[in-house]
Structure 1
């Protein structure tokens, strides 16, 4: 039975698509107060709180279902190129444009250029990392949920799109830009958006400056941490034994020669999840080990942005997520001086893992497609600010805080020291701090010569 109530899931919708059925779900475009697709695990969560006024909402969301970025060794690729999977859904299409943060032309995307290189195309010429029709509809449904909670119930913003009330920002990839487009379509309806005099603007920063994504390619220290996880993580105790097992099952035996690298759990998981989500099979011999692959991939991802060793953790979190936390806290503190009341940040799993780790609520379960963290800002009658943080619809007690509804000053005390401005970020990135606090990491890398694949791994945030 086709399950329309799944949001942010990496499984549950795909089998019907692969069988060529269930396409009728992609035809719904009207704003329907009885739309059953907004019923989710958090449908009973109350946005309005007695004695408090909701002043602002910030949504940090992972993109929807996509084609794989990485594929498994010695396993035939599957074909995502058919019209069943790719192309824009009509009920998410309207006039929009991607612009730089200053309103100028959209910066070039090095990621999209990388994914679309001819030698990297998937079977059937599909582009790696592209948002699929299923992913678009997932994001449309989340947009409907946001409409239900913040327009219909909380009345925080108007039912018609107004850029004076809603700010939309994305990382510079097609899948996150498409995700932002679909969320807005779900919130306001494509038909209504098509009537606007001006296109909806999705704001984007140049990749080397973008605080929505860990910048491993420009920060020397963060690159070292990412390198340790992505290149050497498979040799850590516990992971190494599991890696060797999966390499045997895939008949993959790197011999140390150029082009031969150890299996990476993130790669294996990426291909499996894309197949599961879109209804494609993966090798039966891997199925008994699916939970182990998931767990180990989630660990490596955490180590890439929050570090493997406790001694490095604060530095890692400051560099991977501190600039984003500064943006979030600054936006909360300046709520009364800002035009917009709702902020949508379309991001990646790497963004969420770093943020969840910093908030100390990461459960070592990979954030599924469409996962989201929401910061809600409230005021009481004395005009004191409070913040409530939720993850996939469940309110969280974040790092060292005592309650789900957190006085702003308490939140700043407990996570504010992770927030870094441009000057502090650049100072840490240029330092040799790991040589002081992480001698094991440096010993692992001493005398190491990176080849092309290792360099790409180190420069690119885990999961990208």
Structure 2
């Protein structure tokens, strides 16, 4: 069978936001292979609790971040490291035959933008072997959930059962390929169709390039991030640690985090001093990205960041609730910046503090862990035969934030959504939770019209 790979690209150029939150190199060191994991899963004999309660799974929506990648930027104040091209080799068991097309089913090639290179010639933002393995193991996890525990899909790939969409970047398209390889153990009789929208139609990340109002809000958000408690104090301490010139601008927590996490994930050197600073860099980077949440513009920021995507999710679930036909699994290969606004919308971040009126940027660090590589958000639509009612169950990683690499042996723990009277959440209550943030295409276009305001700070790019 022919194995197809997309052309090299680097969508939107070099970005300066972050990569994954937890920096485990377990996959690289242990090299757990798919067949072994699959055999362990078959012998484990776990059973989903929802089935024992008379609930059948009707549809699943999975949004996941791409696997580990090379850094997006080079920081001149950090010693260079060698990114060996061997890190980009493709494991044969992650191959899966696919084609890319637009939303109307017309075949199209992915973006052919030339990737910016790191000093030794390796592309920036490139999916690595470890990233491919992470995505493959996420696929195995989804196989366990949606083929073994809650039979939703056939054991081999069938195009009518699954809708796959990716952003127009090489790392997300290839991550989708790897997830499919794990989900179906490379069993297919037809190529998978991966929908890749053009930039002007993209809704899988906060698309500030095509939404003027969102760009204004993000500028204001980053411009006000210096007001976070003790942020300037931490910047000064890090400035001294890095021996930067007194008149220099100082370190960018988000850009620094991107580089440090990428290095640690791939076993590349990080100084002991900076290693000790990683938790603080993690906290500050996340707070800066979410500093607009908890302000009077919160709803607008979240609407313009994820409103059209939330609308798609609700529309697809409504079709199932109304008895119409819709794919059993909707698989979205995206970015950390896709997941970041969804977590506060769903109440996964800061639900307790929200009730007390605490802004997201000031919540406990344990509730603000940046979505790691291959992080997944699973939204399951369930049906109770006896009553005919529908319910929704949401799972994100697991409750203590353990990385996906170590979580492949366990079950995602469902999250009790705020405002829901039970878990799983009744469909009407779940719909009411998301509806204030969901936007139709027409509503989104209308709200995106910007003003003449010219805030002082530029937002960081939003595809990570």
**TM-score above 0.5:** yes
Bigger mean CA offset, 378-387 vs 245-254: 245-254
**Contact in 1 for aligned 2:88/2:129 (Cα 8 Å):** yes
Question: Partner of 1:164: helix, strand, or coil?
Answer: helix
Residues 114-129 of structure 1 mapped to structure 2, 5 A cutoff: 116-117=115-116, 121-129=117-125
1:346 aligns with 2:333: yes
1:331 aligns with 2:333: no
1:302 aligns with 2:290: yes
Change (3 A) 1:29 1:236: closer
2:214 to 222, 228, 235: 222
1:81-106 Cα offsets, whole Å, 9 max, x none, are: 331x1022101113211211112233
**Contact in 1 for aligned 2:393/2:414 (Cα 8 Å):** yes
Partner of 1:5: none
Alpha-carbon distance in 2 for matches of 1:38, 1:126 = 41
Partner of 1:419: 438
Change (3 A) 1:156 1:45: closer
**Contact in 1 for aligned 2:101/2:107 (Cα 8 Å):** yes
Alpha-carbon distance in 2 for matches of 1:222, 1:253 = 34
1:80 aligns with 2:83: yes
**Contact in 1 for aligned 2:391/2:425 (Cα 8 Å):** yes
Partner of 2:271: 283
Partner of 1:375: 379
Alpha-carbon distance in 1 for matches of 2:261, 2:43 = 23
2:347 to 333, 339, 360: 360
Q: CA deviation at 1:205?
A: 0.9
**Contact in 1 for aligned 2:47/2:149 (Cα 8 Å):** no
Q: CA deviation at 1:244?
A: 2.0
Change (3 A) 1:394 1:153: closer
1:251 aligns with 2:243: yes
Change (3 A) 1:399 1:316: farther
Alpha-carbon distance in 2 for matches of 1:122, 1:181 = 25
Residues 162-311 of structure 1 mapped to structure 2, 5 A cutoff: 162-190=158-186, 192-193=187-188, 196=189, 198-230=190-222, 233-234=225-226, 236-253=228-245, 255=247, 261-303=249-291, 307-311=292-296
RMSD: 2.6
Partner of 1:136: 132
1:318-340 Cα offsets, whole Å, 9 max, x none, are: 11011111111111111232341
1:207-234 Cα offsets, whole Å, 9 max, x none, are: 2211111111111221122223445534
Alpha-carbon distance in 2 for matches of 1:301, 1:213 = 14
Question: Partner of 2:105: helix, strand, or coil?
Answer: coil
TM-score normalised by the chain length of structure 1: 0.81
Change (3 A) 1:38 1:425: farther
Question: Partner of 1:321: helix, strand, or coil?
Answer: helix
Partner of 2:395: 390
Partner of 2:25: 13
Alpha-carbon distance in 1 for matches of 2:93, 2:271 = 35
Change (3 A) 1:202 1:425: same
**Contact in 1 for aligned 2:96/2:180 (Cα 8 Å):** no
Partner of 1:438: none
Partner of 1:55: 58
Question: Any gaps of 5 or more consecutive residues in structure 2?
Answer: 1-19, 350-366, 398-411
Question: Partner of 1:66: helix, strand, or coil?
Answer: coil
Question: Partner of 1:53: helix, strand, or coil?
Answer: strand
Question: Partner of 2:333: helix, strand, or coil?
Answer: strand
Alpha-carbon distance in 2 for matches of 1:94, 1:80 = 26
Bigger mean CA offset, 317-326 vs 331-340: 331-340
Change (3 A) 1:130 1:107: same
Question: Any gaps of 5 or more consecutive residues in structure 1?
Answer: 1-7, 436-441
Question: Partner of 1:334: helix, strand, or coil?
Answer: helix
